[in-house]
Amino acid sequence: MTCASLESAMLRWVHAPSKGMRRIAILMFNDCSLQGAGVVAEVFQAANEMASSGSGGWLYDVSFLSADGGMVTSSSALRVWTDGLDARHYGGFDALYVAGGKGALAAANDERLIAWLRRVRRNTGMIRPIAEGRALLEAAFVPDNHELGDAHAQSAPTPARQPEQTADAGDRLESMRSALAMIKRDLGGATARTVAERLLADSCSNLAPLLGEDGGLSPGDKVRAAARWLQENCQQAISIADAAQFAAMSERNFLRRFKMEMGITPSSFLLHERLAVTCSLLTESELPVDKIARRTGMGNGDRLAKVFRKRMRISPTEFRIQSRRLVGE
C-alpha cells in the first residue's frame, strides 16, 4: 500500500444518511504499523464508494482511535489523527481492529487501553488483531478471530505466539479477509470481489500527483516527483542515483529529504513498489516466479523468494495461493 492510498483511506469517508451504518474502529498507538491498518481502511473505503453509487446497502463509519486522541506517530514516522477513548464507545462496534507494529508491546502495558477493551468487547461484534496487535488483546484477555455473539463471551487469554509468528503476513491477510467477509454479508459477494480486485489494482497506483512542472518546485515537491518516477519505473534497472538526478539534487541531500518527506528511505520505497507489482503479477498472471522476478527488477526467483520470506514471512508461491483464495471468496 502506498502512502497516498493510506492517506486517502484515513481522510475520505463517504456517508449516506438513508442507508444502514456499520461502526468500524481501528485502535492505534505510537509506533504502530500503518500497513495492516491501512489495508483494513482501504477495504471499507472502497466499499463505501461503491455502495454510495448504488441503490442501497450498508455503509461503514470508520473511526481511528487512540488512548489520548490527537496525532499518533506510526513506526514509519507518518502521523495519523485519532479520536480519544470515551464513554461514547461503550455501545461497542460492529468490528474493532487492533493495529500491529513495534509499539504493540508498550501498548499492551497501557492500563487505559486494557480497561477500555474489556469494557467495549461485550458489545462488539468482532475483535481482530493485526499482527503484533495480538499482544494487546492477550493483555486484555479479549478473544479474537471470531464474532462475539454472546454477551458473556469467554474471557480466557489465547495462547501467546512468538514474535516472529505475530509478524506473519497471514495476520494481515486475515484482517483483510474478515473485512471482506463483512462486506460480502452486507453488500453481496459481487461487491466484495470487486473491492478485492480494486485493492489489488490500486497497489500499483501513483503515490502522489506531480505538483507543477517548472524549476520553482520546492524540495518536497521534487522528492514527491522523484517518488512517482521511482514508482513508474520500478520494473527497470534504475538506481537511487538516477532518482536523485531526476530530482536535480545531490544524492546525499536526496536521501535526507526523501526520508524526511516519505518516512522511508528511497531504497525501501523502490523495493516496496517492486513488491507491489510482483504481488499483482503473482495473483493475476500464470507467469513462473523466476520470470516475474526478472520482469519486476527483483533479479531472479531465488532472490525474490529470499526477499518475500524476509518481508512477508511466506514464499511467492504461498502468497499466490493465499491471494487467489482471498479474491475468489
Q: Which residue's C-alpha cell is 442507508?
A: 19
User: Which residue has cell 488512548?
Assistant: 67
Domain covering 206-328 in this structure, CATH number: 1.10.10.60
Helix axes 34-52, 3-11, angle to 10 degrees: 60
3-class secondary-structure state, position 3:
helix
Q: Beginning with the edge strand found earlier in the chain, give each strand of the sheet holding 79-84 in spatial order.
A: 70-73, 79-84, 59-66, 21-27, 95-98, 127-129
Ramachandran bin of 282, using left for φ above 0, alpha for ψ from -120 to 50, beta for the remaining angles = alpha
- pLDDT of 31 reads 92
Domain with CATH 3.40.50.880 in the chain: 3-200
Confidence (pLDDT) at 206: 33
C-alpha distances in angstroms, 37 versus 7, 19, 167?
11, 25, 14
Question: What superfamily in CATH does domain 3-200 come from?
Answer: Class I glutamine amidotransferase (GATase) domain (3.40.50.880)
C-alpha grid cell for residue 120? Answer: 467495549
- Strands, E assignment, the chain: 21-27, 59-66, 70-73, 79-84, 95-98, 127-129
Using alpha carbons, select from 157, 202, 153 the residue that is nearest to residue 176: 202
Span(s) in the chain for CATH 1.10.10.60 = 206-328
Q: How far apart are alpha carbons 305 and 1 in whole angstroms?
A: 20
Long-range CB contacts (within 8 A, 24+) of 230-236? 230/266, 230/269, 230/270, 230/273, 231/2, 231/204, 231/206, 231/207, 231/273, 232/206, 234/270, 234/273, 234/274, 234/277, 234/296, 234/297, 235/274, 235/277, 235/295, 235/296, 235/297, 236/297
Query: What pLDDT does 217 receive?
Result: 65
Residue 183 exposed, middle or buried by CB count within 10 Å (0-12, 13-18, 19+): buried
pLDDT digit string (tens) for the chain, length 329 residues: 444 444 444 443 333 333 478 999 999 999 998 877 888 888 898 888 887 765 456 789 999 999 988 888 888 777 888 899 987 788 889 999 999 888 999 999 999 999 999 999 889 999 988 888 989 999 988 665 444 433 333 333 333 333 333 344 555 667 778 888 888 888 888 888 888 777 665 443 332 332 233 345 678 788 888 888 888 888 888 888 888 888 888 898 899 888 888 888 899 889 888 888 888 888 888 899 999 988 888 888 888 888 888 887 888 888 888 877 776 65
Residues ≥6 apart with Cβ < 8 Å to 115: none
pLDDT at residue number 203: 45
